[in-house]
Amino acid sequence: MGIKKIGNNMMLWFAALIWGVAFVAQSAGAEYVGAFTFNASRSVLGGVALLPCIYFFDRQAGRKPSVWGTEDREQRKSLLIGGILCGLALTVAVGLQQIGIGYTSVGKAGFISALYIVIVPMLGIFVGRKASPLVWGSIAVAVIGMYFLCITEGLTVNIGDIYILLCAVVFSIHILIVDYFAPKVDAVRLSCLQFFVCAIASAIIMLIKESSSVPAILSAWVPITYAGVLSSGVAYTLQIVAQKRTHPAVASLMFSLESVFAALAGWLILGQGMTPREIFGSALIFVAIVVSQLRSS
């Protein structure tokens, strides 16, 4: 394995670690502010945190720092369209996720969110990509795992789990958008633009649906800062940079570790344990996630 490939895999692994621990930050933030207030704040921080990076990379490349980083009109157009689409998809995904975390545990949220790795091949059918029998088998196992993880013995389901499942579907769409645009444009600029779009869209919903105050936002500054600078600014940029040079199946497999890190962080930091039934369901989902990538990898 070459040094570049190892470096890409390490970036994906580190992004998964940051995202896994971010579930704890999101859970803590939900105690102070509404979902879209939290996401608008974190997205602003994520976008601002990347501005010095763009300046630094331009200077390293011997370019004069600029907004677009290129004179090519097609690249500018791709960057603008890609940033808007990624930002809107991210707004919906993190919005659903943040709402869901308020009703369910960090560990369950992590494992359900990771189902996007199984959902991506399913969505590929709509763009002419046939799923293998291995993938369909993985989907069946994941559905069984979802039953044990989310549905209680009284045959009821937590509303938070439904929100997180919908979040996983939208995150699958986000990954496909990134796969399409990342090779065409500057990765850091794409990431920065998507956060500012997400911040604007989340702020609009916040003004309509929520009534958070500045003191409440300041009270949640620790989880917002973590989610903004690390989870948004650092991890999503690592995703876009690494996906430029990594097979999507390998990237998805590395991202699946996010669910493990989320469960561990919820246990170590928040003391949120899981019942044997939930652990069994989580194990089935994780097996499905890994197996769904084996043939492609």
User: Which tens digit of pLDDT belongs to each residue from 97-149?
Assistant: 999 998 888 888 888 888 877 787 778 777 666 667 877 787 788 888 878 87
Q: Within 13 Å of residue 1, how many CA atoms lie on the same side as its CB?
A: 8
Predicted local confidence at residue 155, as pLDDT: 59
CB-CB contact of 232 with 48 (8 Å): no
Higher-pLDDT residue of 126, 14: 14
Q: How far apart are CA 49 and CA 38, in angstroms?
A: 17
Confidence of residue 208 (pLDDT cuts 50, 70, 90): very high
Predicted local confidence at residue 248, as pLDDT: 62
Over the range 89-102, which residues count as b (16 or more CB within 10 Å of their CB) and which as e? bbbbbbbbbbbbbb
Q: Where are the alpha helices (DSSP H) in the chain?
A: 3-29, 35-60, 73-101, 106-113, 116-124, 133-150, 159-181, 187-209, 214-219, 221-225, 237-243, 248-255, 257-270, 276-294
Q: How far apart are CA 244 and CA 59, in angstroms?
A: 21
Whether this model's pTM surpasses 0.85: no
Q: How far apart are CA 230 and CA 235, in angstroms?
A: 6
Q: Report whether pLDDT(239) > 80.
A: no
Partners of 157 in the β-ladder: 151
Q: How far apart are CA 265 and CA 271, in angstroms?
A: 9
Report the mean per-residue pLDDT for the chain.
Answer: 84
Q: How far apart are CA 55 and CA 92, in angstroms?
A: 29
End-to-end CA distance of the chain: 14
CB-CB contact of 126 with 173 (8 Å): no
Question: C-alpha distances in angstroms, 5 versus 2, 187, 235?
Answer: 5, 17, 18
Confidence of residue 194 (pLDDT cuts 50, 70, 90): very high
Confidence of residue 253 (pLDDT cuts 50, 70, 90): low
Question: C-alpha distances in angstroms, 38 versus 143, 145, 172, 212?
Answer: 31, 30, 22, 9
Q: How far apart are CA 86 and CA 239, in angstroms?
A: 13
CB-CB contact of 115 with 165 (8 Å): yes
CB-CB contact of 126 with 68 (8 Å): no
